[in-house]
Amino acid sequence: MTDHFKGRQFNQSVITFAVGYYLRYNISYRDLVEMMRDRGIFVHHTTLMRWVQHYSPSMRALWRMDETYIKIKGQWNYLYRAIDDQGLTLDFQLRKKRDFNSAYHFLKRLLKTYGLPHRLVTDQYGATLKAIKKLTREGYLHKGMHQCSKYRNNLIEQDHRFIKRQQVRSASYQSTRTAARTLYGIETMHAIHKESRKKLGLFGFSAYQEVDQLLAA
């Protein structure tokens, strides 16, 4: 078992609090510094940034498929996302292009992880439809499973709103790698929040038990 917090100046609960709040809420590192200071914890904003970059990928453990736009260093990138019929997050992946290869590799990974869905709902974007046809020929999907429906895909369009609120923050990303690591954490905290609400629990520090278990694995 790996101790991901060994050698850190602050203990595990402080770090997961800071990383979790940054990923869940649309706040800056300097805002988080003030929040920590109000709790008697004094930490520099560059330290918080290093924590987020280091721990965000570890938090990513965690069928409606769509993509949304993320601007990185002035260029549009595409965040592919998938949720189930309850609105719970299944998977996500940041890609530089919105094309056949991006849609194909994301959907293939999704199908390998979760198996055949009862129904797969997407928009009518040509590259996505081409990827689905190829996956059907390869046996990853069965004919009749896929459905194009703007109405049925509204659920994931609404779910994009939380990610789109991060657009102001995303303008400061200087590389795809930096953006991907942070977005993985944001998506994971969003997923934990949805899970906790579904179970009628309040999103709070108890949710970080899940994070701690992932980090300790």
- CA dihedral of residues 89, 78, 122, 132 (deg, nearest 10): -110
Write down the mean pLDDT value for the chain: 78
pLDDT of residue 23: 79
CATH 3.30.420.10 applies to domain 62-211: yes
Q: Please name which of 61, 50, 60 lies closest in space to residue 10, comparing C-alpha atoms.
A: 50
**Other residues' Cβ atoms within 10 Å of the Cβ of residue 169:** 18
pLDDT of residue 153: 54
- Structure confidence by residue, pLDDT tens digits, 53-67: 888 766 543 378 888
How far is Cα 34 from Cα 37, in angstroms, rounded to an integer? Answer: 5
Instruction: Identify whether the C-beta of residue 25 lies closer than 8 Å to the C-beta of residue 153.
Output: no
Question: Between these two residues, 211 and 61, which has the higher pLDDT value?
Answer: 211
- Structure confidence by residue, pLDDT tens digits, 67-102: 888 878 778 888 898 887 767 778 888 898 999 999
Helical axes 12-24 vs 45-59, angle rounded to 10°: 80
- CA dihedral of residues 161, 170, 202, 15 (deg, nearest 10): 170
**Other residues' Cβ atoms within 10 Å of the Cβ of residue 214:** 16
Q: Where are the domains of the chain?
A: 12-59, 62-211
Q: Is the dihedral of CA 42, 44, 45, 46 positive or negative?
A: negative
pLDDT over 50 at 118, yes or no: yes
Q: What is the pTM of this model?
A: 0.61
Question: Between these two residues, 158 and 125, which has the higher pLDDT value?
Answer: 125
pLDDT over 80 at 146, yes or no: yes
pLDDT of residue 135: 95
